[in-house]
Structure 1
């Protein structure tokens, strides 16, 4: 049984032992706990290796993937200490989509336009949304994480809080290496195992990653064409429709029924139905009358006092990518700042 050592200040206040005894005792317990943890972790790795073998992963891949794997306390600490402070959208959007990021997004959009146009047409996704996701997820590939993915995932599986999830992700990571898309040494990602410039978890990689430049590999770490194609494939597979955008910021009448909010299927209404309920564009003008009306959902992430939006199904697809209203609105906001050529 691991016993957490009492703090020095707590024991000193009790007046039970001397400072020298405290220091010696605490170090001994900490070292013993660490050694026990490492032993248990190494034993757990053997169960992962055995499962991998049973699922057809080669011995060479298993040996290479686990060669330098050690317990990663940082991953456990980060998983247990997610940020609690909640920003409002008025605070969050300028931070997530600052002017410099908009400028970079426009530049990179034009720089990679040939690939983006080709991939956008292949998958039916507007290129500006591909670039926006790229920018919000990894700052256009600059921040992808430098953690050993197999090590991070094995640690989180061993921790036990969400063992089934992270054990599955570990096996998926091994399959990716085994298929030759990346070496074990080069498979780097976040503390939680999200990988590459589009920050796919390993199971998402297996489901959605694409070879965008036809070189036989799906490289979301260094090959932008693969990043773009993988992003577009995810969106299209989850229901993206390039005939439409994501939604619009709107004004709602004071005292609107809060039960109208939400993205449940039955809460979707056509734009003109929302118009009749007193909802307008942000500038007070009428909602558009389209040849083919589109269903929209009302969301007010910061309650009625904050920003309000009518969102379309494409926004719901962005929520499949990341279940955060704020994340999806950051991507949508950045996409709106990028002008399509077509």
Structure 2
């Protein structure tokens, strides 16, 4: 795909119809035409554009969801039972067993423990059962038009058009979240372009329908951000009363022996593992009265997927439930 070549006329149209805050889709049709002109100048074919924008629509739900992110207070102790209820832990064990052969093959090739692939799959889309019902092109065009983060969403829209042009998914099946996160891995189009894998060799990177592509794409992402298959994600620990909470940061990494000397212990009060090759951080997602974790390098890798301590804790907790089913 060649570099964007939008001319002054196209740019002027974009600026004229893209208000800082979109109002109920006013001028959306004009914005779509301007976007198509810019995309055509960027090298996308008429066939791709006709296909991608044939049913494009303004999603008021996307604008509303973006402006009204939940602000209610949760703690890990209240969040984890919601994110990983017993039925989901049971289903994770079942899915891990059901796809064991494929997961173990992919896990060995990419150096990622299968339980983490399944845990990510479970947390992101409930094992593929809830991938979002929004047309991705419409969602991204809406968010670009809305204007608050136009540059970000327009870049994602170009990647989505590339996915259409390369034929990875039929446009009718290109569904995702209100913000354009797609398929069973919930990749944004830019992540798709960088990490998605055609594992089944059919010429399409199909993170919507192909389990091989879904699992391998998730594993490839983790491998690419430094995953280590001989280390877990982290462990819940206790802190001594005099622990300096200023040291609780992913930026501060110490050998386990140093954390041991500072009084950090396993939940049962026993000593930390004696591995001399491991460094870790102490993480306090809420406050020291809540859950505290010793975070290994794979914790950092999961934070690259989603920069939320709650998300990482949910994935880690579910992976542990798969490893040690009750």
Partner of 1:293: 277
State the Cα deviation string for residues 49-69 of structure 1 (Å, max 9, x = none): 122222322111101111111
CA distance in 1, matches of 2:70, 2:323: 34
2:172 is aligned with 1:188:
no
- Quick one: which of 250, 256, 261 aligns to 2:248? 261
Give the SS at the match of 2:315. helix
CA distance in 1, matches of 2:147, 2:66: 12
Partner of 1:106: 93
CA distance in 2, matches of 1:230, 1:56: 27
Partner of 1:215: 202
Give the SS at the match of 2:242. coil
TM-score of the superposition, structure 1-length normalised?
0.86
2:87 is aligned with 1:90:
no
CA distance in 2, matches of 1:123, 1:56: 34
Q: Radius of gyration: which is bigger?
A: 1
CA distance in 2, matches of 1:110, 1:56: 45
Partner of 1:318: 302
Give the SS at the match of 1:298. strand
Partner of 2:261: 276
- Quick one: which of 285, 308, 318 aligns to 1:334? 318
- Quick one: which of 20, 35, 40 aligns to 1:48? 35
Give the SS at the match of 2:172. coil
CA distance in 2, matches of 1:156, 1:36: 12
CA distance in 1, matches of 2:91, 2:194: 29
Runs of 5+ unmatched residues, structure 2: 1-21
Runs of 5+ unmatched residues, structure 1: 1-34
Give the SS at the match of 1:245. coil
User: Number of paired residues?
Assistant: 303
* Shift in Å, 1:86: 2.0
Within-5 A mapping of 1:1-342: 38=25, 40-264=27-251, 267-290=252-275, 292-339=276-323
